[in-house]
C-alpha cells in the first residue's frame, strides 16, 4: 500500500466534517501529535482533545474503525512517508525529472489500458440510473473530477469524500446501482471488514480501476487495469488521465446515438 489506513481514514474525516466539529477536532489533534499519542490511553487522548471519553469511542466508530483498540494499533503501525521525485541540485533538473516521470506514467497507461473495457464502462454509466464514483485521498479527487465532467455531459452521479460514508453507500446499494472505484493499488477494500458486503441478498455492479492485477473480492464485477510505476508522485496523473478518458468516451458514445 502507498498509504496506511490511518491517514486515509483521518484525512477523509477532516475534509468531510464541518470545521470545528468534535470528529474533526479529534482527527486533527491525533494527526498533529502522532508520536505523542501512541502511548496514551483513551482517557488521556480525550483530555488532550478536550472532549469526553465517549466522544473518542464514538469517533472511532463513525470514521470506520472497530473500536479504540484498532485506533491504538494504527497509531503504533502507521508510517508516514513521502517520496522525493528528484535529488538533483538544479531546479530545472528537478522540474525535468518530475515532468519526465509524469509523462512516462501517462504513456504507460496509453500502452496498457483496455479500451474495450473503458467503452463497456461508459455503456454501463449510460444505462444505470444510479451511479456512484469513489476513491480515497488523491483518487477521491479524481472521482470528483469525473463527477464534474459527467455533469457537463448531462449525467448526474454521486460521490463522497468520506471513506466511512462510501462504504455505507456500497453496503446499502443493490442491483440497480453502478459503483466505480478508483484505487491505484487496488487496496480499497483492504481497509474495511467485508463481512457486511457478503451478507447482502442483492448487490450493485462494481468496477475497479487499478494498476494492480491482484485477486479482488467477489463483489468486484469488472476491472480496468493499467501498468504503473507504483509510486506516490505519478499515480494521481494516471488516474486522472483515465477519468478524463472515460469522460471523452462517454461523450463519444452519446454523439454516436
The structure's pTM equals 0.86
CATH code at position 47: 1.10.10.10
Structure confidence by residue, pLDDT tens digits, 192-236: 666 656 666 678 999 999 998 888 888 899 999 999 988 877 889
Last residue of a domain, one of 77, 97, 128: 77
Q: Which residue has the cell 483530555?
A: 47
Q: Predicted confidence band at 118 (pLDDT cuts at 50, 70, 90)? A: very high
CA-closest candidate to residue 26, choices 237, 17, 239, 170: 17
User: Residue 233 to residues 49, 102, 221, 238, 239: CA-CA distances in angstroms?
Assistant: 33, 8, 29, 10, 12
Does residue 238 belong to any structural domain of this protein?
A: yes
**Angle CA 168–156–5, to nearest 5:** 35
126 with 179, same domain: the answer is yes
User: Residue 118 to residues 33, 73, 238: CA-CA distances in angstroms?
Assistant: 43, 39, 14
In degrees and rounded to multiples of 5, residue 182 shows phi and psi of -90, 120
CATH code at position 131: 3.40.50.10490
Domain carrying residue 239: 109-255
Does residue 199 belong to any structural domain of this protein?
A: yes
**Angle CA 124–130–132, to nearest 5:** 85
Structure confidence by residue, pLDDT tens digits, 43-99: 999 999 999 999 999 998 888 788 899 889 888 888 777 788 888 999 999 999 999
CA 127/CA 125 separation, integer angstroms: 6
Q: Predicted confidence band at 1 (pLDDT cuts at 50, 70, 90)? A: low
Amino acid at each position: 500500500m502507498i498509504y496506511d489506513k490511518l491517514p486515509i481514514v483521518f484525512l477523509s474525516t477532516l475534509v468531510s466534517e464541518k470545521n470545528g466539529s468534535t470528529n474533526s477536532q479529534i482527527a486533527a489533534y491525533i494527526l498533529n501529535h502522532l508520536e505523542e499519542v501512541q502511548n496514551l490511553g483513551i482517557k488521556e487522548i480525550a483530555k488532550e482533545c478536550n472532549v469526553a471519553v465517549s466522544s473518542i469511542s464514538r469517533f472511532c466508530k463513525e470514521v470506520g474503525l472497530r473500536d479504540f483498540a484498532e485506533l491504538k494499533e494504527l497509531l503504533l503501525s502507521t508510517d508516514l512517508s513521502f517520496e522525493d521525485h528528484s535529488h538533483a541540485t538544479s531546479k530545472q533538473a528537478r522540474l525535468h525529472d518530475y515532468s519526465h516521470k509524469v509523462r512516462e506514467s501517462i504513456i504507460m497507461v496509453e500502452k496498457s489500458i483496455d479500451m474495450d473495457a473503458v467503452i463497456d464502462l461508459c455503456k454501463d454509466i449510460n444505462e444505470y440510473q444510479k451511479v456512484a464514483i469513489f476513491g480515497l485521498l488523491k483518487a477521491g479527487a479524481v472521482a470528483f473530477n469525473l463527477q464534474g465532467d459527467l455533469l457537463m455531459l448531462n449525467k448526474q452521479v454521486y460521490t463522497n469524500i468520506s471513506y466511512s460514508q462510501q462504504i455505507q453507500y456500497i453496503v446499502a446499494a443493490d442491483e440497480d446501482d453502478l459503483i466505480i472505484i478508483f484505487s491505484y493499488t487496488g487496496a480499497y477494500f483492504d481497509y474495511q471488514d467485508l463481512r457486511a458486503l457478503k451478507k447482502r441478498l442483492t448487490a450493485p455492479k462494481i468496477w475497479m480501476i487499478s494498476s494492480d492485477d491482484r485477486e479482488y473480492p467477489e463483489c468486484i464485477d469488472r476491472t480496468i487495469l493499467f501498468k504503473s510505476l507504483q509510486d506516490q508522485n505519478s499515480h494521481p496523473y494516471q488516474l486522472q488521465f483515465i477519468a478524463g478518458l472515460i469522460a471523452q468516451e462517454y461523450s463519444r458514445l452519446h454523439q454516436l446515438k
